[in-house]
Structure formats: C-alpha cells, structure tokens
Amino acid sequence: MASGIAGAISFNRIIYPIKTKDASEDILEQKQPPARIISIDPAVTEILFNLNLKDRIVGLTENCNYPDDAKNIAKVGKGSVDINKVVELKPDLIFVNFEAQKHDMERLRRTMLPPASEEAQPAPLQVFAVDPHSLKDIYNTISVIGTVTNKEHSAYSLLQKMKRRVEWVEARAKKEKKLKALVLLKKRPLTFAGQGSYLYDLSEKAGFNNVAPRGGMYQKMRREEIEKTDPDIIITSLDVAKNPKNIYNDRNFRKTSAGKNKKVVCMDSEIFSRPGPRVTQVLEEMAAFAYGWGREIEQTKD
C-alpha cells in the first residue's frame, strides 16, 4: 500500500493543512479533520469503529455489517454505490478499497458536491483509497486512516494491541511441532493464499510451513501438486466449504495428511476475508485448531 504524509505532525496533534498520498497515488489535501465520513469497504468500517469514530460516520454500504452499531447507519448501496445518496449525506471524506472498488472510486471522484452557498463553488467528493494485502499493509492502513481522521493515538493503541496478540501466538507456536499448511480460497479453480497475502502471513505467524507455490498472492494448484506437498492442515472459510467434510472427503484432499486426519477448519467468512482489526482472531483460531489451544488464547485479548 502506497501512502505518504506531508505537513507538520506531532504524535497527539496534527497541524493542518496536511497532504496524504493514498493507495491510488492520489493526494488528499486536508485543512481540518473530516466530520462526516462514509465508508464503502467493510474492513475500513471496522477500523473506523475501532478508532472511536462512530459519531463521525454518516454512511456505509449494506456489506458493512460489523460491529452491530454499523447496522443503524444510513446505507449508500450494496453491490454498487448510490451516488445520489452519497451526495445527500454531504461527506467530508469517503473511504474505498482501491482494488475491489476501483469503479466506484472513479465514479465518486467525478462527482461534485453542490455549493454550500451562492458564493461557493461546487466541490469534488474527497475520496481516500486503501489497498491492504499483506499483514504489514493492514498495519499501514490502520496507521494512515488514523492520520487522515486525526486519530493517530487511537490507531497507535489499536496497532499495539494487535501486534501483542500476533507476537504472543508467534512465540507460543514456536514450541509446537511445525505443520505444513494450505489456506484454500476457492475450489473452482483450486486457489490458495500465497506470498504477499495476509492469510499467508497469518499462517506463517501461526507457526505453519505454508506449502503454496511461490510467486504471488493467489496460487492455483492441481490435485497432484496438493498431494505432493501433503499439507497437515487446511484452512478455509464457510464461503468455500459449509463444513470440513466438504474438504477432507474431496478427492483433491482426501489422500493428504490433512484429509486422512480430518485436520480442516472452516472459519467465519466475513472475519476470514476482511483485512482489518479482526485478522488477529483469524490467527488465533488457526493456532487454536492446529494445536488444541483454549483458555490461553482468551487471556491475550485484553
């Protein structure tokens, strides 16, 4: 994720104006922090709530369903953004996911807000794109959102909490037997999380040897390749398989150690697929399933 900040900044107080580069290489110029925020990305929405910005959020999409308080905020679309509803809400700043919502991002940037008075001029909507893929990207995204919303201290606190949980799992996992793992993203075609993706990073932090091929975030594998790598554990989501039987009884996996030993875990799809604060929960569930951990995981959450 590309981002940068220009301006005089101290830890607890940002001195305006500032300029911040987003994931699309666009420069956001701010004279003051945003008072009316719209998020059309569920992971960003979770970050905003974690930064205590609930009272500044005026619009979300139908897909932004966590936490529960998000359900009570005005909706601006689901599959595609309703531009008219966005304009009605008069946002100061709109967050989008650069890769997943590029079309909406471009539409929003072409849209002008009506002038606030007869003397004023129409102004373009202010849109800020993020593009987290790796675990490091997620950390950087939280940090830069903290900057553009004037919540740097809250972002720092959230990151410290997340990193403590990651470090605890990583240290604890080093005492366990190293397992070979695959993180299954799709069954048709068989696609697995590869290097550069946060799910790959999490599997490595959990102490696994991720045996997906090298070379990119999405790796396709044939049955012969899967059997040759012989994963001990397969991690996937309920979007891919309704239950573990759908994987360990599948002909592509049943001859592997994971298939024979029924070592398959299907996680909540929304948590699994959102590169936001709850990735630490994904990590903990991976490790807890693999190693039989229980109460000790709960003790890290505060």
pLDDT at 12 (0 to 100): 54
Residues 94-107 have pLDDT tens digits of 999 999 999 999 99
Angle at 274 between CA 229 and CA 93, to 5 degrees: 145
Surface-to-core class of residue 96, CB atoms within 10 Å of its CB (0-12 exposed, 13-18 middle, 19+ buried)? buried
Confidence of residue 8 (pLDDT cuts 50, 70, 90): very low
Residues of the chain above pLDDT 90, percent = 87
pLDDT over 70, % of the chain: 93
Distance CA 68, CA 239 (A): 21
Provide the pLDDT for residue 294: 77
Give pLDDT, residue 4: 54
What are the tokens at 90? 């008069």
Q: Is 186 left (phi over 0), alpha (psi -120 to 50) or beta?
A: beta
Q: What would be the CATH architecture of the domain defined by 4-150?
A: 3-Layer(aba) Sandwich (3.40)
Mean of pLDDT values over 56-62: 98
CATH topology of domain 173-298: Rossmann fold (3.40.50)
Is residue 74 predicted with pLDDT exceeding 90? yes
Q: What is the mean pLDDT of residues 216-221?
A: 97
Kindly list the domain boundaries of the chain, sorted by start residue. Answer: 4-150, 173-298
**Threshold 0.75, pTM exceeds:** yes
In this prediction, residue 299 carries a pLDDT of: 45
Give mean pLDDT, residues 213-241: 97
CA 63 to chain centre: 13
4-150 with 173-298: one CATH topology?
yes
- The residues near 2 (Cβ < 8 Å, ≥ 6 apart) are 21, 22, 23, 25, 131
Average pLDDT over residues 170-187: 97
Q: What's residue 131's pLDDT?
A: 98
Closest CA to 24 of 106, 93, 79: 106
